[in-house]
Every structure is written in structure tokens, then in C-alpha cells.
């Protein structure tokens, strides 16, 4: 890879990070799903795991511009996202519904589902989708007050909130912001980012970092040992997230037309991103590409 290609790839990762950062601000939208749409999910997992390996420089070159983009988005777009959620939530979530639905065909092709999926894989897919969809009943819209008088207990709770949320962030279909919302710290997190509250940001950042490292190792293990089953779970998580973010049916004809248009735009964007990004080497591994996966598929076919 030439120096110019490295520079271009770094800029691409900054842009990808900005997109992931914007979506991480929205409850119900998973950064892991967006990483899949952008074609960098597998490399993201590998780079997080490899940051402590002997090839840490190579992984850092991939992660640094991505993190820079995420950080930039969180600082710059937090107020804009707040405004969009309040003023134009229905159009926004119809767009993301189309965007998320648009990634499903790619995931199915990547999993080579026609050859690898058995009855149990479809069952796991439905179960994963149902579990994510069920969070719609516990989400609620009760935006509790912002933490003001922070104690040691408050900081400890924010640390573990970041840990739990980051585990969700890296899983497709599960939103880290939604976890923050369920834990009652979403307003505090958004306020800390928009007002640049260093102490809260550092505590959350530490929890998020630890959670990402631990969860990424688990995901990489599952992909290497149980590839087909893991894809089934991932696809189920993504499908279930559409139910979570569905904003309800539009009331007027005008709003219906606009919502349909935004849904189509989201689907088209997902398709275009898929075609653009997956021409590169930054894509999820095809099932059966690695020996462990081939061995697992042989076992799947014999046990049926």
C-alpha cells in the first residue's frame, strides 16, 4: 500500500468514524450495525483485539482515525441530534429503518445462508430478533434529570454504565445510547458531551474502553468457532432493532410520503455504501474462508 493510499484510507476511516459517532448518539441505532453497513465490522473487532499485540501499530493506524471521527461527531453533532430527535424524529427513524434493512441482504450473502443455515440457525435468528424487539417495552421515554451533584457512587455508576453500553455498542442491533437511556444516564451523557464535562467524559470513556476490549475478544472467538451461528444471531439483532426504532405510522398523507421517501433514501444509501465499501478488503469474512469456519460448517452439515 502506497503512502497516498494510506492517507486516503485514514480519511475514509475518519468519515466512517463520524458516521458511527452520529448514530451512537441516537437511542435505538447501533454503532455495530453501522460498522457492518460500512464494511468495517470484522476489521474493527480484529483491531481492538490486536491493539495489545506485536502488530499494534498497524491496528492503531486503523483505529486512531476512526476514534478521531467518532469523537468529532460526538462533540459537534450532539446538539443537532438532540434537535432532530425532538423535532423530526419520525423522518429520522424512517431513514435509519431503511438504512438498517438495507444491510440485511449483504449479511445473508456473507453468511452464505442458503448453504449454511439449518433450522436451528433460523430459530436462533428469530430468538435474537425477539429479544432486541422486546426492549421496546422497557425503553420508555422517561428522560430522567441530569446528574448534577456527582458523588463517588455516581461516578462508579457512570463507569459501569459506560462498560455495559460499550458492550452493546459493538453488537449489531443493540444501541449503546438505548442502554444509557434504560440506565437513566442518557441525559447526563449527552449533557456532558455537549458541555464538555471532562470528569464525566473520562469516567465514561474508561468504562467504554474496557467494555469494548472484553466484548470484542468474545465476538472474535464466536466468529472463529461458531461462525454460522454467530451470523444468525447478528442478523437477528439487526432485524430486531428495526422494531425498536420504528417511530409509528404517519398520520397525514404528506408525512406518509415523506416517511416513505426517507425510508427509500436510507435503503439506497445502505446499498450504495455496501457496493462502495465492499469493493475494498475491508469486509466481513465469508463463511468458510478460514479453516476453523470450514471445520465448523462440516460439523454443522453432518449433525444437521
Position 276 scores a pLDDT of 59
User: What single DSSP character describes residue 173?
Assistant: T
- The dihedral built from the CA positions of residue 230, 288, 63 and 26, taken in this order, carries a sign that is negative
Position 68 scores a pLDDT of 92
Helix (H) / strand (E) element for 270: namely helix 253-277
Q: What is the mean pLDDT of each run of 10 residues along the chain (304 residues)?
A: 60 86 74 79 86 85 89 83 80 85 79 89 93 70 61 87 81 72 77 83 90 86 87 86 82 93 88 62 41 43 44
Position 211 scores a pLDDT of 87
Strand, helix or coil for residue 38: coil
Position 2 scores a pLDDT of 57
For residue 260, what are the domain limits? 3-303
Q: How many CB atoms lie within 10 A of CB 93?
A: 26
Position 293 scores a pLDDT of 42
Which candidate, 15, 3, 232, places its Cα nearest to that of 113? Answer: 232
CA angle (225, 233, 179) in 5-degree steps: 115
Torsion of Cα atoms, 284 then 288 then 289 then 290, to 10°: 110
Number of domains in the chain: 1
Position 255 scores a pLDDT of 92
Q: Please list the helix, strand and coil fractions of the chain in percent, rounded to the nearest 5, in that order.
A: 80, 0, 20
Position 31 scores a pLDDT of 76
Calpha distance 96→81 (Å, rounded)? 13
Instruction: Tell whether pTM > 0.75.
Output: no
Burial bucket for residue 37 (CB in 10 Å: 0-12, 13-18, 19+) = buried
Position 278 scores a pLDDT of 54
Position 92 scores a pLDDT of 85
Amino acid at each position: 500500500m502506497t503512502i497516498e493510499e494510506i492517507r486516503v484510507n485514514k480519511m475514509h476511516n475518519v468519515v466512517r468514524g463520524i458516521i458511527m459517532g452520529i448514530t451512537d448518539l441516537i437511542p435505538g441505532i447501533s454503532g455495530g450495525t453501522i460498522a457492518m453497513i460500512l464494511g468495517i465490522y470484522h476489521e474493527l473487532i480484529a483491531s481492538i483485539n490486536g491493539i495489545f499485540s506485536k502488530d499494534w501499530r498497524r491496528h492503531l493506524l486503523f483505529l486512531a482515525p476512526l476514534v478521531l471521527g467518532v469523537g468529532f461527531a460526538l462533540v459537534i453533532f450532539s446538539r443537532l441530534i438532540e434537535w432532530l430527535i425532538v423535532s423530526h424524529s419520525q423522518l429520522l427513524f424512517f431513514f435509519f429503518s431503511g438504512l438498517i434493512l438495507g444491510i440485511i441482504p449483504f449479511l445473508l450473502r456473507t453468511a452464505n445462508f442458503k448453504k449454511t443455515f439449518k433450522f436451528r440457525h433460523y430459530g436462533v435468528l428469530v430468538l435474537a430478533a425477539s429479544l432486541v424487539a422486546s426492549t421496546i417495552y422497557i425503553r420508555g421515554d422517561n428522560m430522567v434529570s441530569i446528574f448534577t451533584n456527582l458523588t463517588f457512587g455516581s461516578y462508579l455508576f457512570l463507569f459501569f454504565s459506560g462498560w455495559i453500553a460499550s458492550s452493546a455498542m459493538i453488537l449489531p442491533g443493540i444501541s449503546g445510547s438505548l442502554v444509557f437511556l434504560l440506565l437513566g444516564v442518557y441525559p447526563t451523557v449527552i449533557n456532558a458531551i455537549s458541555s464538555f464535562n471532562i470528569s464525566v467524559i473520562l469516567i465514561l470513556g474508561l468504562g467504554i474502553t474496557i467494555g469494548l476490549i472484553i466484548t470484542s475478544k468474545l465476538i472474535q472467538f464466536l466468529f472463529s468457532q461458531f461462525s454460522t451461528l454467530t451470523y444468525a444471531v447478528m442478523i437477528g439483532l439487526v432485524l430486531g432493532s428495526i422494531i425498536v426504532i420504528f417511530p409509528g405510522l404517519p398520520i397525514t398523507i404528506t408525512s406518509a410520503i415523506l416517511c416513505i421517501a426517507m425510508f427509500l433514501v436510507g435503503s439506497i444509501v445502505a446499498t450504495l455504501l455496501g457496493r462502495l465499501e465492499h469493493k475494498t478488503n475491508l469486509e466481513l469474512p465469508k463463511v468458510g474462508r478460514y479453516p476453523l469456519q470450514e471445520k465448523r460448517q462440516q460439523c454443522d452439515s453432518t449433525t444437521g
